[in-house]
Every structure is written in C-alpha cells, then in structure tokens.
Structure 1
Amino acid sequence: MSLSDSLPLLAAALINEAGFGYPQGLYALIGHPVTWIGALISRLDRMLNRESAPFIVRKAAGGLALALLLAATFAISWGLTLLCRGLGPLGWLPLALVASSLIAQRSLHEHVARVAEGLERDGLKGGRMAVSMIVGRNPETLDEAGVSRAAIESLAENFSDGIVAPAFWLGVGGLPGGALYKAINTADSMIGHKTPRHLAFGWAAARLDDLVNLPASRLTALLLTAAAALDKTSDPANAWRAVRRDARHHRSPNAGWPEAAMAGALGLRLAGPRVYGEVRVDDGWMGDGRAEAEAADIRRALALYRRACLLLWGLAVAGAATALAL
C-alpha cells in the first residue's frame, strides 16, 4: 500500500475513532479485532506451549506461534484491504472503520478520566477501584498520590503503544501494518511475561514488541513535549530535559520516553518503585518534580494528552495532503 493510500486512511481512522470510538452494539454482536487476536493467541498458547518441554524447545514454539499469528493477521487484513478496494471510492469507508478499531484514543481518555472521577467522588476507595481497571499493580498498596501517578503513567505509556504506535504502522503499511502491530502488542501483553509459563514461550513476542514500539515511543515523547508548548501550565523545556535525562533509566526500553515527557511537562515524578501483585519492582524515577500527585494532576495530564492527539491528527492530515499532492 502506497503512502497516498495509507496516510489518508490513517487520518480518517484517527478522526473517526476520536469522534465515535468502537460502537458497543458492534462489540456485543461480533467482538473486537483485539479479542479475535487474543483468542488466536490463547489457542496457540494451549496448543504449542508444553510445560514439560525443554526451555529451548518452548522458545522455538513461541517463535512459531508468533509467526502463525502474524501470517493469519496479514492474510486477513490484506484480504480486507483488497475487498474494500474492489468496492471503488466507497470502499474507503469500511476500511477506515476497521482501521479505527486498532486505535484507542477515546477509550483511553475515558478510562483514565474515571480514575480522577473516582478520587473526586469517592476518595481513595473510588480511585483504587477505577485504577485497577487500567494497571497491573496492586491497587491496595497505593495511596491517593500512588493512584494518581499510576493513572498518569498508564495514560503516557498507552498513548504510545495504544495510539501513536498503531497510527505509525497504519501510516507506514496501511491496514496490514496497523493490524500486524496490534497482533504483536497483544501477544506481548498476553504471553510476554517473565513467568515460568511464558518466560521462554513469550520471548519472541516480547522482543519484537520492544522493537516495533521503538519509533512510536520517541515520537510520543516529541508529541507530548510539543503539546506542552501549547499551554502555559505545562513546561516543554522540562519535558525534554526529563526525556534526555531519565528515559533510559526506565526498566522498559520504550515506556520511559512518554512517561518522562509527561512527568517533566507536568512538574511531576512518575514511575519509581512499584508493586505488581506481590512483587516489588525497583525502577528509575521519571522527572524530578512532585511525587504527591492528585486528581487535578490527572486532569492536567488528560488535557496534555488531548493536545498531543490534536498534533498527531495534524501530522496525519498534513502527511495525507502531501502524499496525495505528489
């Protein structure tokens, strides 16, 4: 798919998803592409991941599972692209609708906003309940500042891998590019854990996810820094300082970039030591501001996120216009 096809598709998908999201009625009727991908990953995990097998065999089985997942994803997404192209000019509408399902601007905003609402309405209990829906750490270990930081960290990281990354790969490779990214990212979230069952089997998915998220994490940091320059209450210079100083100290090769940019822009300190289930994770701090975040800081982070989304739309529209003009 050429850029004159993929970039207009990206622009349409971003704007459509922000305006309408994924219809609940459609989800109830046929599910969602991510649920279909997840079902295939679960089936491959059950079929190929034998706990009695040697480590190297399980590692190879994980690579095979990933290859089968990507082959199926490419075949279906490319087939849909060809089918929609066969419909003529009207084919862009269903193609954009399918592409928009790979992006999560609206749902991310809604889930993070619920954490602020929970804190404001029901205090710590409400905040813990809402944040438990979007993070893997144990909410009972979090005070109000911890709940607020967790929500803001989730917003920053998911802006990168739930929005900017699928948008980047949609722009590069059309629907197949976006769908392949989503398959890799979903595989990492399901089997890319360092648990006894998935340490070997999920290795390929985790490493490939790190690789395909690399360009988007850097672009996300730039978008958040630029968005900070559009508002007097945010600090773009501090955002960029935090990225340059702190991003490489995050335990993830990619999450530190958006989290550091968000922390610096808002004058906060994010990440640091955290508890996932019963396991304490020692991580570097992103930013050097206040650690005592609150619901108002979640609101500020959401405002920064909305401005960064607008900048992403602008890049997509400008890219589409340029590609069509060439």
Structure 2
Amino acid sequence: MTALLHPPDSLVLLVLALAVEAVLGYPDRLYRLAGHPVTWIGALIAVLDRRFNREADPAGRRRAAGVLALALVLVATGLPASALALACGALDPLVGLVLCAVLAASLPAQRSLHDHVARVAEALRREGLPGGRRAVAMIVGRNPETLDEAAICRAAIESLAENFSDGIVAPAFWLGAGGLPGGALYKAINTADSMIGHRTPRHEAFGWAAARLDNLVNLPASRLTAGLVAAAAALTPGASARGALHALRRDAGRHRSPNAGWPEAAMAGALGLRLAGPRVYGTTRVEDAWMGSGRADATAEDIVRALVLYRRACLLLWGLAAGLAGVWLTM
C-alpha cells in the first residue's frame, strides 16, 4: 500500500469512506466526547482571526495576515493528516485501509446533510411556519423571520444542493485525488471560507485568500455535482434531466457565486422549481438571479422530492468512485 496518498489506494479509500459515513454518519457520542475535525480547524481559525485580524491595520496588511493565517491552518491540518495516512500505510494493508477509511469518513457529510434538511420538512408539517423557521435557521444564514413557507422550502433545497457540492462531492473529489491529506486540506479551506471568507468590513481583506482558494478548489466538484444531479434526475420519476441541463446552460453562470449556481440550477431544473433569487441575510438584502424557471412556491413535499434526488445522486457518486477504483486497479 502506498500510504493511501494516490490512486488506486485513495479511490478505494474513498469508496469505503463514503459507505461508512452513509451508514454511520458521525456518532453524536463521539462528537460530544472529542468534537469533529471541522470544529478543531474552526477553533484554530477563530484564534488566528482574533490575533492577526487587527481592524486598525490597513487593508493590504490585513490581506497579508489572512494569507499567513490560511497557510498556518493548512500546515496544521496537512501535517497530521499526512502522518495518519503514513501510519495507516505502514500497517497490514487491509487493516490500514479500513482504519484510514474510518478516519476519512469524518470528512463527507451525506447523512448529516440529509437529516438536517429532512427536519425542515418535518418541522413544517408538525409545527407550521415557526417550526420551519427554527429548523431552516440551523442550515442557512439568511434571516428566518423574513421567510414564508415557500421561502423556507426553497432555502432548504438550495442548502441541500449547495452543500451536496461543498460538503460531500468536493471532499470526495479531493479524497480520491489525494487520499486523507487531500480531503483534510479541502475541509480546512472550506471551513476557513465559511468563517472568514465574507465580504464584511472585518473579513473582506483578511478572508480574501480563503475565499479565493475555496472558489478554486470547489470548481471541479460544483460541475461534477451538477452532472450527478442531472443523472439522478434521469433515474427519478417526476424529475427532469432535460430540465436540469436546460437550467444549467441558462442560469448557472448568472449566480453571484462561481460555483453555487451549478448545483442549485441543476436541482431547480430537475424539480421544476425556481431557487436562489433575492433574499435577506441578517438585515442585508442580496439581489441574486433566479435558478430555474419553474414554481417559486415550493412546499415540504418538494423538499422530500429533493431528498430522493439527493440520495440517488449520492449513490451515483459512490458508483462513480467504485468504477474508477476498479478501472485503476486493473490498469
């Protein structure tokens, strides 16, 4: 075994890690006991933000401090992940592969994403608008008090589409490309972007490097995610692969994010919905383009339909990884 850094080992690792995470998720008991890799990375980013991001400094110095902070986060993540991969590679091949797969299973979040989005539909059915607002506030950053039922449902489906890309397909892509270190480094970049990569007075300069690097590393996964959603639509009664492809061609490039428009447009077109569009974060209204040309009045049933599509797309992702691993092993 080659330290689980390169194909075919990294692809086999990916196949096992996706299966383990889909079945087990990340156990709540383990989270309460030791946290999660993302929380460890987030704690380091928070410390660096407090110490390096000085509001009295000029923008150029704050940007340089953000570059340094990001570099420190990547080193602090990459070195332990590489050491763990090397340690797994030094064990019996089967034992090392299984152990590394269990570690890598903490990086994608198939089960967690599914459960969080499903809770929005359940809350709407059981508790109405107040429950739906509380549930959706757990997965989106927009002001829940501005959302009616249709907006809650759209927000949940948009979150499902976007997080399928950066919470599942992207870590899977980098796991397959670079083993455990590749997946861990991606999570560090994505966590940094989520914490400091915002266009706010505090973080526009300091988070510049995190935001730009996150855009770059998510580029291949966002396109792959759109393809997986379209393919899943072809296998799902009531969904439209043609609609997904049409929305992709027309709308994906109109999103303010260079990556989020791809999975959101594919999901919107597949389900016959309109997603994204104008929305409010805190007190700030964001004027974004609509993805898709269908109904804007989404319902809890549309969330359920989106979850069916998502589960099939996850299976396709696993099948793609397994197929690539099989091809590579026979070369």
1:242 maps to a residue whose letter is A
**Equivalent of 1:151, from 141, 150, 156?**
156
Q: Provide the C-alpha distance between the structure 2 equivalents of 1:224 and 1:295, rounded to a whole number of angstroms.
A: 20
Amino acid of the structure 1 residue aligned with 2:300: A
Q: What does residue 56 of structure 1 align with? A: 60
Matched, 1:233 2:233: no
Deviates more, 1:13-22 or 1:86-95: 86-95
Q: 1:256 aligned to 2:270?
A: no
What is aligned with 2:8? 4
Structure 2 residue aligned with 1:297, among 302, 308, 325? 302
Pair 1:280-2:285 in alignment: yes
Q: Following TM superposition, by how much is the alpha carbon of 1:54 offset from its aligned partner in structure 2, in angstroms?
A: 1.0
Q: In angstroms, what is the RMSD of aligned CA positions?
A: 0.7
Structure 1 CA distance for aligned equivalents of residues 99 and 105 of structure 2: 10
* Unaligned segments of structure 2, at least 5 residues: none
Structure 1: gaps spanning 5 or more residues: none
Matches of 1:84 and 1:3 in 2, distance apart?
15
Counterpart code for 2:7: L
Match of 2:26 in 1: 22
SS at match of 2:8: helix
The whole-number CA distance in structure 1 between the counterparts of 2:258 and 2:236 is 29
Which segments of structure 1 move beyond 4 Å, counting only runs of 4 or more? none
Q: 2:320 aligns with which of 315, 318, 322?
A: 315
Identity level (%): 71
- 1:32 partnered with 2:5: no
Amino acid at match of 2:111: R
> 1:109 aligned to 2:114?
yes
Among residues 203, 222, 225, which one is paired with 2:227 in the alignment? 222
Question: Is the deviation greater in 105-114 or in 24-33?
Answer: 24-33
Q: 1:26, 1:106 → 2: CA distance? A: 15
The residue type paired with residue 83 of structure 1 is: A
- 1:178 paired with 2:183, answer yes
Q: Normalising to structure 1: TM-score of the pair?
A: 0.99
Distance apart, 1:59 and its partner CA: 0.3
Distance 1:231 1:22 in 2: 28
Q: CA deviation at 1:266?
A: 0.3
Give, in angstroms, the shift of residue 249 of structure 1. 0.7
**Given the two structures, how large is their TM-score scaled by the length of structure 2?**
0.97
The CA deviation at 1:232 is: 2.4
Aligned residues: 326
Which amino acid letter does the alignment assign opposite residue 68 of structure 1? L
Name the CA distance, whole Å, in 2 between partners of 1:268 and 1:215: 25
Distance 1:318 1:91 in 2: 22
In 2, the alpha carbon distance for the partners of 1:305 and 1:97 equals 23
Give the AA of the match of 1:25: R
Aligned residue among 47, 69, 87 for 2:73: 69
Partner residue in 2 for 1:46: 50
